[in-house]
């Protein structure tokens, strides 16, 4: 009965593998490293090149942006809730965080597109204006909407609840005697946090960040809505083009030929493997951080 | 006998609080002035300058009265507070937007009509989301029927029976919890719909949702079961019951409300899932009371379709539908919290 | 004798609240009502200390004078408020949610609870060593010793000299001088505790509070630490809470006996150690030191 979980998981892996195998056969490693994704039909003969490279880069770019924005905010919130907030505010914010985790991702997509994007565009223009000399913030043309920056922002908001929750748990397990030792030496609250809580909890925060990363990597509809999905290996986070593997699958699905749909299945397999690896690493780190007590 | 009353001399006095309020007022004035004088504009500019000036003033006050360490401590607490406020704002915005935009599309026939006879592009008063609501209802029911027994049994196996395969099963549950929703959808498609004569229907739509629901329910159920004190189990076994009997007759009823919470959390999770449905549900515009045959709709799918259509009417439909969906998710969310609070007592 | 005590309890003074001082005369008469409480000078003085945990009164009306350069042992059965009492001295009691107090703690004549007092500065002058050794695991041995300086951002002319001095006074220098860069976790329990003593010495406290510092250690380490206490008392005031009566007899100049009869803990008797153990004035003290209960 519980072996059903086992069965399902193995089935996922094997089926995607089987169906996508054809693509692997023809493309080989090129499937992962290549940057072109084309499929043309000439006189009934289909020629195609499928390369996930640009989407893998895109996945990393928007997930990375989400982490850069989300992790500091999560850690600050966790510190505030655990060490500074009065009881009422703490309970309230915990409810808010649970609520954030419960919102459907398509809601984030809708809100992200209609409400956040105009603001993000404004911020992107500001960033470009003052920091455009940094290569990552430069753009080939002034196209700031539907950029990896906006996608990263939306993803950051989506992953903040999980990172905050894990961070809070780890921080709350800081051994009391070390905290007392710091205070007895005349430390202020911040000094105590910096010397005792943060070193103790850093492992857990990393684990939480990886859980957030796993979630961000697999996010589909929210990314689809706020990002202009195209196969372009774009590292300029303010420039309006990019994608991640999940949203790419959805965007190409409707009009895909048979061969392409098999490639999309193979892409799904690659995505599955990636998120699996990240999640395992994350769970391992979190467990170890909570158990060891360093 | 002298009487001493308990005091807390370390807490801020009225004078301290007064100073803080004064500092805040000064910050308000400063931010107003700054925004008028500089090219910055908009509510965001006000808020940003207000935070910065309030922080500067508070930190400055601390520095003057207590020195550098206290000032740094004050700065740290301000920054932590600011972080929390930033996290709080999007939630407020999302709730406000959804309600204010969604409400505009509410009309009498919303819950009684489907889109069978209207198109997304038609004016709002035409058509409705009955088919989507029916579809979502089926999704929830079918996914629960499939996943709940599996999840509860797995959780019981992991916490109570702890057999030899437990480590491996735990590992698998963990792996499943990381499966992206789109992958679950593709899998069901590849397994059941590709190169077969089956077409998307209610049940094929619910299957990926079941896959997504299992790890959530299992993990929460595990946590709940672990909270049941061992004395109960020992009491059952001391009475001569086998392990399974103890579990069924003693542990499960004791954990009842927690298990219900676990299921509801799982339902809340999948009720709003969109991506898997795009591959497996078929997508219908009319009400389909048969989940086993023929394309279905669901609220997230309906929202998606409206967005793809793109016109203002269609987008309005999406907002209204997502308002309904949000209400449903919040409903489950509140019930789950109610049950878990019951448990705490 | 018991009549004297009753007189003291029936003394009516003005109804006082908060930390307003009693008149000096009333204060000294209250102190004198406790057998053997001969005023032994200033340095640190606790007056009418009460301590609450929410509504529960844990320590009732304790007044003690601690002469500079002496070691005072606080003895008594578990749970009679000794640890709570010393935590009101260095203002660690207030960290407990719901904590409240009344009374004054005068360091060099000034109340540490006075309004406007910087509590972190107080804790630099009144150090604390805990029951369970708690060196900071993320720091090396050398860093641990100097951690108090770092926490309070104190500048010192020569850090290495200070480090050696503190470790020497704590009786640890010879054992660790070659491995100051090693992590503190590798030391034995006794060594860790001496490291904690060295750490609290680095910020130059006038008073050192020790809460059962040897109860988690082996007899050999205990003896070493008792030697250290003897040396340290030449330059500071030491207050040590201990369950071990032999230790109190070995180490202290004065001994104070606490007792709780199910209610709040109270000070029963205080006096020179030799007298407390050979000719105690209160029957309960005699019962305790002769082992009839405890």
Asked if A153 and A123 count as a contact pair (C-beta separation under 8 A), the reply is no
pLDDT value at C16 more than 80: no
Question: Which among B89, B170, B275 is the top mutation candidate for probing chain A, defined by the most A β-carbons within 10 Å of its own β-carbon?
Answer: B275
Give the confidence band of C5 by pLDDT, cuts at 50, 70, 90: very low
List the beta bridge partners of residue C129.
C210
Distance CA A141, CA B324 (A): 40
B1–C contact, CB cutoff 8 A:
yes
**Smallest CA–CA distance from C185 into chain A, residue:** A294
Q: Where do the H-state alpha helices sit in chain A?
A: 3-27, 30-33, 53-79, 87-102, 105-111, 117-131, 148-172, 176-184, 189-192, 198-217, 221-226, 245-253, 258-292
Percent of chain C with pLDDT over 70: 85
Interface check for B6 against chain C (CB to CB < 8 A): the answer is yes
At residue C144 the predicted structure's pLDDT band, cuts being 50, 70 and 90, is: very high
- What does the domain layout of chain B look like in residue ranges? 14-103, 130-344
Check whether C13 has a pLDDT greater than 50. Answer: no
Q: How far is C32 from chain A (nearest CA, A)?
A: 32
Contact criterion met (CB < 8 Å) for B9 and C19: yes
Is some CB atom of chain C closer than 8 A to the CB atom of B21? Answer: no
Give the pLDDT confidence of C63-78 residue by residue, as tens digits. Answer: 998 888 889 999 999 8
pLDDT recorded at residue A68: 95
Whole-Å CA distances, B269 to A105, B273, C22: 10, 7, 64
Written as six digits, the tokens of A20 are 């996508």
> In this predicted complex, what is the ipTM?
0.88
The residue assigned the tokens 């209400």 is B327
Chain B residues touching residue A263 (CB < 8 angstroms): none
**pLDDT score at A19:** 62
Positive or negative torsion for Cα A189, A195, A199, A202: positive
Rounded to whole angstroms, how far apart are CA atoms C78 and C81?
8
User: Which chain A residues have a beta carbon less than 8 Å from that of B329?
Assistant: 102-104
- Residue C28 pLDDT greater than 80, yes or no: no
**Are B2 and C50 a contacting pair at CB < 8 A?**
no
Instruction: Give the nearest partner residue to C90 out of A175, A184, A188, using CB atoms.
Output: A184
Q: Is A214 on the interface with B (CB under 8 A)?
A: yes
- Neighbour order of strands in the sheet with C266-272: C126-129, C207-211, C237-241, C71-75, C254-259, C266-272
Q: CB–CB of A102 and B268 under 8 A?
A: yes
CA dist., res. C284 & res. C266, Å (int): 12
Which positions ≥6 away from C5 have C-beta within 8 Å? Answer: C33, C34, C35
| Interface touch A200/C138, C-beta < 8 Å | yes
Looking at beta carbons, which residues of chain A come within 8 Å of B194?
19, 261, 265
**What residues have CB less than 8 Å from A47, skipping those under 6 apart?**
A39, A40, A41
Nearest neighbour of A186 by CB, restricted to C136, C152, C196: C152
Q: CB contact, 8 Å: A193 with chain B?
A: yes
Closest by Cβ to A106, choosing from B73, B149, B304: B304
- Does residue A158 sit at the B interface (CB-CB below 8 Å)? no
pLDDT in tens, chain A (294 residues): 456 655 666 666 666 666 656 556 666 666 777 777 776 666 666 666 777 788 888 899 999 999 999 999 999 999 999 999 989 999 999 999 999 999 999 999 999 999 999 888 888 888 888 888 888 788 887 778 888 999 999 999 999 999 999 999 999 999 999 999 999 998 999 999 999 999 999 999 999 999 999 999 999 999 999 988 888 878 888 888 888 888 888 888 877 777 777 788 888 888 888 888 998 888 888 888 777 654
Q: Which residue of C has its CA nearest to A188?
A: C120
Asked if A279 and B174 count as a contact pair (C-beta separation under 8 A), the reply is: yes
A182 contacts C152? CB cut-off 8 A: no
d(CA C198, CA B29): 51
Burial of A119 (0-12, 13-18, 19+ CB in 10 A): middle
Nearest to A183 among C95, C138, C199 (CB): C95
Q: Average of pLDDT values for B274-298? A: 86
Q: Per-residue pLDDT averaged across B16-36, rounded? A: 83
pLDDT at A79: 96
Which candidate, B271, B268, B256, B267, places its Cα nearest to that of B339? Answer: B256
- Each residue of B116-172: pLDDT tens digit? 777 878 787 788 888 889 999 999 999 999 999 888 888 888 887 777 778 888 888
The answer to whether residue C167 neighbours chain A at the CB level (below 8 Å) is no
Q: How far is CA A233 from CA A49, A60, C236, in A?
A: 16, 11, 69
CA distance B208 to B129: 23
The pLDDT value given to residue A94: 93
Which of A107, A268, A271 is the closest to B322 by Cβ?
A107
- Tell whether B5 is within 8 A of chain C (Cβ): yes
pLDDT for res A146: 86
C152 part of contact set with chain B, CB < 8 Å: yes
A88 near B CB under 8 A: no
**Do residues A55 and A244 touch, judged by C-beta distance below 8 A?**
yes
Q: What's the pLDDT score for residue C129?
A: 95
Burial of A176 (0-12, 13-18, 19+ CB in 10 A): exposed
What is the pLDDT, as a whole number, of residue C22? 36
Burial class of residue A117, CB neighbours in 10 A (0-12, 13-18, 19+): buried
Q: Nearest Cβ partner of B4 from C12, C16, C91?
A: C16
Chain A, chain B: beta-carbon pairs less than 8 Å apart: 221
Question: Which residues, 6 or more positions from B196, have their beta carbon under 8 angstroms from its beta carbon?
Answer: none
Chains adjacent to C (≥3 CB pairs closer than 8 angstroms): A, B
Structure tokens at B221: 């159920």
Average model confidence (pLDDT) for chain B?
A: 85
* Best residue of B1, B2, B17, B66 to probe chain C, by most C CBs closer than 10 Å: B2
Cβ within 8 Å, pair B69-C152: yes
Closest CA to C280 of C7, C8, C10, C34: C34
Q: What is the pLDDT of residue B79?
A: 92
Cβ distance B303 to B212 under 8 Å? no
Q: Given a cut of 50, is residue B199 above it in pLDDT?
A: yes
A222 in Cβ contact with A112 (< 8 Å): yes
**Residue C8: pLDDT over 50:** no
Question: Nearest CB to C136: which of A183, A186, A195?
Answer: A195
Scanning every residue of chain A, which has its alpha carbon at the shortest distance from the alpha carbon of C154?
A186
Is it the case that residue C29 has pLDDT exceeding 80? no
Any idea where the domains of chain C sit in the sequence?
2-289
CATH of C2-289, one of 3.40.50.920, 2.40.440.10, 3.40.50.300, 3.40.50.720: 3.40.50.300
Query: Which residues 140-159 of C have a C-beta within 8 angstroms of A?
Result: 147-148, 150-152
Question: Which CA distances in Å does B259 have to B78, B265, B336?
Answer: 40, 10, 10
Q: How far is CA B149 from the centre of its chain?
A: 23
H or E element that contains B99? helix B68-103
For each of the domains in chain A, give its residue range(s) and CATH number, in order of start: 3-50 (no CATH), 54-292 (1.10.3720.10)
pLDDT for position B188:
84
Task: Tell me the sheet residues that pair with B291.
Answer: none
pLDDT of residue C6: 37
Contact C227, C221 (CB under 8 A): no
In CATH, the architecture of B130-344 is: Orthogonal Bundle (1.10)
Q: What does the pLDDT read at residue C193? A: 94
Contact B176 A73 (CB under 8 A): no
């Amino acid at each position: 009965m519980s072996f059903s979980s086992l069965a399902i998981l193995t089935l996922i892996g094997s089926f995607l593998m089987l169906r996508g195998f054809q693509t692997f056969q023809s493309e080989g490693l090129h499937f992962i490293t290549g940057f072109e994704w084309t499929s043309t039909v000439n006189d009934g003969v289909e020629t195609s090149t499928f390369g996930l490279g640009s989407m893998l880069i895109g996945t990393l770019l928007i997930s990375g942006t989400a982490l850069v924005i989300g992790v500091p905010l999560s850690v600050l919130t966790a510190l505030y809730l655990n060490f500074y907030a009065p009881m009422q505010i703490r309970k309230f914010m915990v409810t808010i965080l649970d609520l954030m985790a419960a919102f459907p991702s398509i809601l984030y997509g809708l809100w992200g597109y209609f409400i956040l994007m105009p603001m993000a565009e404004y911020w992107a223009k500001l960033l470009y204006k003052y920091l455009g000399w940094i290569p990552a913030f430069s753009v080939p043309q002034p196209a700031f909407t539907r950029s990896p920056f906006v996608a990263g922002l939306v993803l950051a908001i989506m992953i903040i609840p999980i990172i905050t929750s894990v961070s809070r748990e780890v921080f709350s397990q800081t051994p009391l005697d070390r905290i007392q030792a710091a205070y007895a030496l005349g430390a202020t609250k911040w000094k105590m946090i910096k010397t005792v809580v943060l070193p103790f909890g850093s492992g857990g925060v990393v684990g939480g960040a990886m859980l957030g990363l796993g979630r961000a990597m697999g996010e589909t509809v929210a990314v689809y809505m706020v990002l202009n999905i195209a196969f372009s290996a774009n590292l300029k986070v303010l420039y309006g083009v990019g994608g991640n593997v999940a949203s790419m699958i959805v965007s190409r699905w409707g009009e895909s030929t048979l061969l392409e749909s098999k490639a999309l299945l193979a892409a799904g397999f690659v995505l599955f493997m990636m998120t699996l690896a990240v999640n395992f690493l994350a769970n391992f780190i979190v467990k170890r951080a909570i158990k060891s007590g360093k | 006998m002298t009487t001493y009353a308990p005091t807390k001399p370390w807490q801020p006095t009225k004078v301290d609080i007064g100073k803080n309020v004064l500092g805040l007022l000064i910050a308000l004035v400063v931010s107003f002035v700054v925004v008028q004088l500089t090219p910055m504009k908009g509510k965001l500019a006000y808020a940003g300058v207000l935070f910065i000036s309030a922080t500067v003033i508070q930190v400055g006050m601390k520095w003057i009265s207590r020195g550098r360490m206290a000032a740094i401590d004050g700065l740290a607490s301000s920054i932590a507070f600011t972080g929390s406020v930033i996290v709080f704002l999007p939630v407020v915005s999302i709730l406000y937007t959804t309600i204010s935009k969604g409400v505009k599309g509410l009309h009498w026939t919303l819950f009684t009509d489907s889109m069978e006879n209207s198109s997304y592009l038609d004016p709002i008063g035409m058509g409705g989301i009955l088919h989507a609501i029916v579809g979502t209802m089926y999704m929830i029911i079918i996914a629960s029927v499939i996943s709940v027994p599996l999840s509860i049994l797995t959780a019981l196996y992991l916490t109570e029976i702890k057999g030899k395969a437990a480590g491996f099963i735990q590992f698998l549950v963990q792996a499943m919890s990381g499966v992206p929703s789109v992958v679950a959808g593709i899998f069901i498609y590849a397994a059941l719909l590709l190169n077969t004569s089956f077409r998307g229907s209610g049940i094929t739509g619910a299957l990926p949702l079941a896959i997504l629901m299992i790890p959530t329910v299992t993990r929460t159920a595990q946590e709940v079961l672990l909270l049941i004190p061992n004395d109960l189990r020992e009491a059952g076994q001391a009475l001569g019951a086998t392990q399974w009997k103890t579990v069924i007759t003693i542990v499960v009823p004791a954990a009842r409300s927690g298990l219900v919470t676990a299921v509801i959390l799982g339902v809340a999770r999948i009720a709003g899932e969109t991506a898997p449905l795009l591959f497996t549900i078929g997508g219908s515009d009319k009400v389909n009371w048969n989940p086993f045959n023929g394309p279905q709709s669901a609220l997230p799918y309906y929202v998606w379709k409206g967005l793809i259509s793109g016109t203002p009417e269609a987008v309005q439909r999406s907002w209204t539908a997502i308002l309904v969906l949000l209400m449903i998710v919040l409903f489950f969310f509140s019930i789950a919290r109610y049950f878990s609070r019951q448990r705490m007592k | 004798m018991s009549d004297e005590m009753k007189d003291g309890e029936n003394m009516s003074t003005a109804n006082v609240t908060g930390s307003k001082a009693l008149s000096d005369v009333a204060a000294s008469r209250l102190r004198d009502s406790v057998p053997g409480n001969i005023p032994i000078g200033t340095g640190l003085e606790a007056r009418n200390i009460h301590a609450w945990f929410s509504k529960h009164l844990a320590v009732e009306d304790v007044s003690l004078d601690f002469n500079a350069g002496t070691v005072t042992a606080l003895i008594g059965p578990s749970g009679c408020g000794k640890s709570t009492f010393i935590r009101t001295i260095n203002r660690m009691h207030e960290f407990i949610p719901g904590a409240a107090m009344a009374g004054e703690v005068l360091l060099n004549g000034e109340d540490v609870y006075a309004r406007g007092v910087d509590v972190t500065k107080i804790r630099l002058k009144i150090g604390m060593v805990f029951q369970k050794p708690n060196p900071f695991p993320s720091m090396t041995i050398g860093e641990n010793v100097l951690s108090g300086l770092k926490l309070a951002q104190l500048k010192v002319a020569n850090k290495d000299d200070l480090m050696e001095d503190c470790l020497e006074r704590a009786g640890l220098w010879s054992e660790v001088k070659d491995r100051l860069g090693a992590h503190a976790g590798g030391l034995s329990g006794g060594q860790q505790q001496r490291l904690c003593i060295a750490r609290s010495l680095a910020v130059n406290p006038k008073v050192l509070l020790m809460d059962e510092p040897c109860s988690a250690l082996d007899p050999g380490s205990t003896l070493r630490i008792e030697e250290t206490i003897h040396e340290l008392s030449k330059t500071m005031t030491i207050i040590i809470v201990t369950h071990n009566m032999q230790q109190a007899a070995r180490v202290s100049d004065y001994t104070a006996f606490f007792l709780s009869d199910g209610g709040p803990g109270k000070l029963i008797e205080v006096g020179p150690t030799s007298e407390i153990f050979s000719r105690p004035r209160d029957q309960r003290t005699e019962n305790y030191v002769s082992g009839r209960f405890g």
